[in-house]
Structure formats: C-alpha cells, structure tokens
Structure 1
Amino acid sequence: MVQKIGHRGAKGYVAENTLESFQKALDLGANAVELDVHVCATGELVVFHDFTVDRMTNGSGEVHKLTLEQLKRLTVAGEFSIPTLVETFELINRKCWINVELKGHSTAEPVCQLIEEYVTERGWHYEDFIVSSFQKEELERTKAINPKIRLAALSQASVEQALEWADELSAYAIHPHFSLLTEDNIMVAKSRGYKINVWTVNHDEDIQRLETYKIDGIISDFPDRL
C-alpha cells in the first residue's frame, strides 16, 4: 500500500507546520507527516519551513537568530503558533510515523538527540522516524552520530543524484520530486533496496499516474486525496 504522507501536516487545509495542521493530517488518515526543523537562537528545535519568518508570520527576521520566546509571540497565518519539535512529537504520539526534514543548519545533532531520547526513554522506535534533507552534510552528520536513524536523500535535481547520496549514506529511502520519476529509475532504486517517497503531489491526474508506479509513499498537501 502506498503511504499517505501529509506535507507539512495537511498544508492544503491548515497553515503549514502547525500543530493544527498535523492534527488535520491525522484526522484525514495520513500514515505519516512531513515537517521541517530549524534550531532557534536559544537552542530549541522549532518546526518551520523557511529560513525567515517573514512569509508565514506577522514578524520578520531569521529563524536561527530569534529566541523561542520571540518565535512563540508570533502568529502563523494570523491565528496559529510556531511549534517546537517536542510539542509536535507529543501531539503525534506514535499515531503515525514522522519525516523530519533537516532544513536549518546544525540541526542534525539536536534532532539525533531528541530521537534517541524518544526511542530509549519514551518507548518509540526508530521506525517511527525518517530523517531527510537536501543538505548532504546534515545527513552525513546524522549518520555519524547515530547510524540507526533511517535517512532519506531529498532531490529536486535528479533521481541519479538521490541514489548517489543514498549509496554514500547507506540511506533507507530516496525522496525525489515526483516529476523526476520514470519506470527505469524506479527499477534501479528498487534494485538497490531503497524505499521511494515522492513530493509534492496534489493533483488527481498526477496521483493516479504515480499509483501505477512501484513507489512507497506520496507526500501531499491533501493527504485525503491519496
């Protein structure tokens, strides 16, 4: 069965990367949620996509230069707040698995620490997580810190690049943009043992086409369409 993965929660319905958006994805039957993390100025991991808060909030400035208190004072899309990764884990509470995308710099170490804490002290499993990134150095750092954490190579450029990274990282999966897929490169990825989760697929005709391919998951703003 192809996994339904909610992009930044259920971004098509509720403001991205908010607790309310993640809850919406759960309500819509998502098998997983995808989210983005940065480290803020006071060291906490916050769930946010952009490197600045300008697009999504009533504030301005770079996420990594703002304290958690400053970030918490902002409103997302006029009504929501920026969650920490801890708050998000607490909400999800193993109701689905979580794709943590390392978006900001120096996110590998604190993400590894938090995952390890939830696995060793909170009864979660490594299978509850996939860590992905477009930044190879963050994935390399994650592997060096804890090789048990499942990695995914993100790519907007080519499936070949994703496979090259995946081979070097001993990754679990590749996460290419859906437009890059062909039956041939899917066959190559599968022959090397990789899971394939594609992004970001919102239109019915694209979903129907992808469902004819041997892929493992589809990341969508509308998880109920999958």
Structure 2
Amino acid sequence: MLQILKIGHRGAKAHLPENTLASFQYALDMGVNGLELDVHVCSTGELVVIHDFTVDRTTNGSGEVHKMTLAELKALTVEGQYTISTLEEVLDLAGKKCFLNIELKGRHTAVPVSELMERYIAEKGFTYNDFIVSSFQREELMVMHDINPNIHLGILTQASVTQAWRWAQEFSAKAIHPHFSLLTESNVKKAQQAGYKVYTWTVNEPEDIERMKLYEVDGIMSDYPERL
C-alpha cells in the first residue's frame, strides 16, 4: 500500500495561527510526516517564518519583513498571544520527528537557508533527507542548486505542471509541488515515472483529498492534517 505523506500546511493553519510554533506543534501532535513553512530574511539577517512580504495581515504591526529587525518582529503579536518564529526555533521544535518543507518565499533566502541546514546537519544529526526546499522563484531555486546541489529541491507551481517539470530538470529537483487543481492521474504518473515526487497543495476538502489519494500523489499539504 502506497504511503501518501501527510504534510501540515504552515503547521495546522485551520486550527491555530499559521507558521507559529503552536501551529507546528499541533500538526506534530496529529502525527504529520512533514511540516510546510515559509521563510524570509529580516534586516538583521535571521530567517523568520512568515508567509507574506509584510507583517500586516498576520500580526498587530505594519511594515515589510525584510526591513524590520528580529527584535522588532519579535515584539509583534499574532492574534494577541503568539509571536513570529525563527527557522531555528521551528527546527528545534520539530527535531527529527518529521521532514521540513522550507519554502523560499522572500528574496535572498537561498544562501542563509543552505547555511543553516548545513549547520543542523553537521551539529545536530539532521540529514539532507530531513529537508526539502521549495520555491516559486526561479532565482532562489537557481542559487540553491548552484551553491548546494545536495539539497533536495521542490518546484512550486500554481500555473503549469509542464513548467515545473522543465525547472525540475534544469535544477535537478527531487519533486514538483503543483496546486492540486493542475493534477490528473496521467500527469502524476508521468512525473513519477520521470523520477519526481509529487507533493500537492493546499488540499482541504475531503473530496479533493480523496481524489489526490486516488491519483497516488506522494504527499498532500493541508490546513487540516487530521483529514489526510
């Protein structure tokens, strides 16, 4: 029986504020195989886990993430009681309980993500198999491929499986990450036969989850990990 990996999207986004340590812990408690998260670099150089390019939607503050210091970001609150987490905090929380799907959301994230992963591999017993690094951004994927070809890459797309496939070939990626609406049983099989894993997002409705299982994708990202 094929095991389809259960991946918590921004933790357990449907239950607790996205990309917070509480959300990631909730997903871990539900037994996910992987956690998906988004990273930006703040003005003092740390990697912070937040989806948007600004803090406006998810916190009580306002401003662009890359222009704010870590101290400024940490002073903000998410839904009154949570804080923005750093990538290190998420890695320490997750340990080796599951793999981490790190999406390079902000610009210039490839180099610091590679450096942090290398440190955790060297010092804390992690392996390359504990990570997959994904992005929609060609430049970040290219930089990551050039500086550290050992890192497993995933090509994100919400427009074209064919384009994701081309980039996967170009950057020696391990996986393609298409939006579930782009998938058919045929293109899933074709990608897998070419040697790529297929991790799809963000699949929340039970009927869509069942369809993805029928297509035998390799992993499903959901705001509702308990439904997977």
TM-score (norm 1): 0.99
- Aligned partners of 1:218 and 1:109: how far apart in 2? 27
1:201-212 alignment to 2 at 5 Å? 201-212=203-214
- Structure 1 residue 187, shift from structure 2 partner: 2.1
**Identity percentage of aligned residues:** 62
- Aligned partners of 1:62 and 1:136: how far apart in 2? 22
Alignment match, 2:59: 57
**Amino acid aligned to 1:95:** K
Residue 5, structure 1, aligned to residue 11, structure 2: no
- Aligned partners of 1:78 and 1:201: how far apart in 2? 28
Per-residue Cα deviation, 1:99-147 (whole angstroms, up to 9, x for no partner): 0000000000000000000111211110000000000110110111111
**Amino acid aligned to 1:71:** L
1:166-177 alignment to 2 at 5 Å? 166-177=168-179
- Aligned partners of 1:142 and 1:119: how far apart in 2? 16
- Aligned partners of 1:183 and 1:222: how far apart in 2? 23
- Aligned partners of 1:217 and 1:187: how far apart in 2? 14
Unmatched runs of 5 consecutive residues or more in structure 1: none
SS at structure 1 position matched to 2:221 = strand
92, 95, 98: which one aligns with 1:93: 95
Per-residue Cα deviation, 1:147-180 (whole angstroms, up to 9, x for no partner): 1000000000011111011011110000000000
RMSD: 0.6
164, 183, 188: which one aligns with 1:186: 188
- Aligned partners of 1:219 and 1:77: how far apart in 2? 23
- Aligned partners of 2:22 and 2:90: how far apart in 1? 10
Alignment match, 2:17: 15
SS at structure 2 position matched to 1:211 = helix
- Aligned partners of 1:195 and 1:78: how far apart in 2? 39
**Amino acid aligned to 2:114:** C
Per-residue Cα deviation, 1:65-89 (whole angstroms, up to 9, x for no partner): 0000000000012210000000110
SS at structure 2 position matched to 1:52 = coil
Instruction: State the number of aligned residues.
Output: 226
Alignment match, 2:77: 75
Unmatched runs of 5 consecutive residues or more in structure 2: none
- Aligned partners of 1:187 and 1:209: how far apart in 2? 14
- Structure 1 residue 186, shift from structure 2 partner: 1.2
Q: Which runs of 4+ in 1 moved over 6 A?
A: none
